[in-house]
Amino acid sequence: MIQEKILDFLKRKPDYVSGDQISHRLGITRQALWKHIQILKDSGYDIVAVPHLGYKLVSCPDRLFASEVARQLNTRFIGKKIYYFDTVSSTMDSALQLAMEGSPEGTIVIAESQTKGRGRLGRNWFSPKYKGIYLSLILRPKISPNQAPLLTLMSAVSICEAIKEKTDLACQIKWPNDILIHHKKLGGILTELNAETDLSRFVVVGIGLNVNNDKKTIPHQATSLREQKKQEINRPELLQEILRKIEENYLIFQKNGGQSIIDKWRDWSISLGRRIRVSFQKEHIEGHAVGIDIDGGLLIRNDSGLTQKVMAGDVVHCLRHYI
Ligand code: BT5
């Protein structure tokens, strides 16, 4: 797209670039260039124009535009196709629809806000505009449906690694899908599966992350990266890093199997080794979280020494530690 080329041009030169030079290189008239610059300015790019000097890019808007995310992403297939929306009901619905229509593996849907962002079991996901990252990713893994929970663990690891890389903050993962910092919820993952009998046709991984939220726009028990880091976070750069880490870990998973992901997951887990209570629908199990099974299930040893496996549920960490 011509506007992306203009931006690339301006981003490469920290100083003024003459209109003649840009229009010549892009093979457009100076009038056409001026029109494209106006469109970019309307999208929030701060571009100054000075007679005889040319154009200069002063700042980019804090938006997750597909062009910003794609720029220097350097992945093989994750994020090669990006759908960007200002507002959607849920990125999950858009991605599920796209996957049904045959969108390739790695396609992502990004929204600046969601009116019906959802968590597990139809719960709500607060998605205030321009503050967080709301993303759904289409994967077409050659795995059996019962291995799909490993993709939740793989995504959680990737998010923690990306946050560490970009902010130096250390997150923790509460099984199965919560990203925490200092025991407060920073993000969550929702994995939805479309499967035939023994092979997953596609999986959509949804990621919700509080990035630049202030306390008013998130639930009481939640936190954001801005609150923890005490500074604004560059959302496009963080999103790019998440996509890179997902690709890296997904390839490791495909090549070396689930255990390689579980081994990484352990390093970020806050649940293992603790006394926990897992609730699923009306059932509760309390005991010591002793491990993760090869399919991503959580192994819990109760007080009679019996080990049970749970595949889904909400974990509460108990105050009383197991001795
Ligand atoms: C999750 O569910 O944590 C998965 C959230 C996935 C959201 C993403 S956003 C992009 C994609 N599109 C969607 O529509 N969804 C995905 P769960 O473990 O069920 O947690 C839900 C609970 O987290 C809610 O009941 C609230 O208590 C809490 N919660 C809601 N919004 C939150 C927020 N912004 N930050 C922290 N906690 C929140």
- Domain total of the chain: 3
pLDDT of residue 17: 93
144 and 42 housed in the same domain: no
* DSSP E strand stretches across 60-145: 82-88, 108-114, 132-139
With the most atoms of ligand 1 within 8 angstroms of its CB, the residue from 125, 126, 224, 226 to mutate is 125
CA 48 from centroid of its chain's CA atoms:
33
Pair 105, 76: CB distance under 8 Å: no
- pLDDT at site 282: 87
Is the same domain home to 123 and 255? Answer: yes
| Domain identity same for 23 and 89 | no
* 117 Cβ inside 6 Å of ligand 1: yes
Sort strands 54-59 and 172-174 into parallel, antiparallel or unpaired.
unpaired
User: From ligand 1's centre to the CA of 175, what distance in Å?
Assistant: 14
Question: Do 108 and 43 share a domain, yes or no?
Answer: no
**C-alpha 79 to ligand 1 mean position (Å):** 22
CB 196, CB 203: distance < 8 Å: no
Calpha distance 136→162 (Å, rounded) = 17
State whether the beta carbon of 92 lies less than 6 angstroms from ligand 1. yes
One domain, residues 108 and 234:
yes
Assign residue 300 the CATH number of its domain.
Answer: 2.30.30.100
Q: Write out residues in the chain with pLDDT < 50, as ranges.
A: 322-323
Per-residue pLDDT tens for 287-311? 999 999 999 999 999 999 999 999 9
With a 6 A CB cut-off, is 223 part of the ligand 1 pocket? Answer: no
Examine the domain organization and report whether 244 and 310 are in the same domain: no
Do 162 and 28 share a domain, yes or no? no
Amino acid 281: pLDDT: 87
Q: What is the CATH number of the domain that holds 37?
A: 1.10.10.10
State pTM to two decimals. 0.93
Pair (9, 116) in one structural domain: no
**pLDDT of amino acid 322:** 45
251, 268, 285 — which closes off a domain? 268
152 Cβ below 6 A of ligand 1: no
278 and 224 share one domain: no
Residues 105 and 136 in one domain: yes
**Helix 258-268, helix 235-256: angle, nearest 10:** 140
What domain range is 161 assigned to? 66-268
**155, amino acid identity:** S
Are 47 and 97 in contact by the 8 Å Cβ rule? The answer is no
Domain containing residue 96: CATH number? 3.30.930.10
For residues 29 and 96, give the distance between their C-alpha atoms in angstroms, rounded to a whole number. Answer: 42
CB of 118 closer than 6 A to ligand 1? yes
- Ligand 1 centre to CA of 208 (Å) is 6
- Does 206 contact ligand 1 (Cβ within 6 A)? yes
Which of 223, 246, 268 corresponds to the end of one domain?
Answer: 268
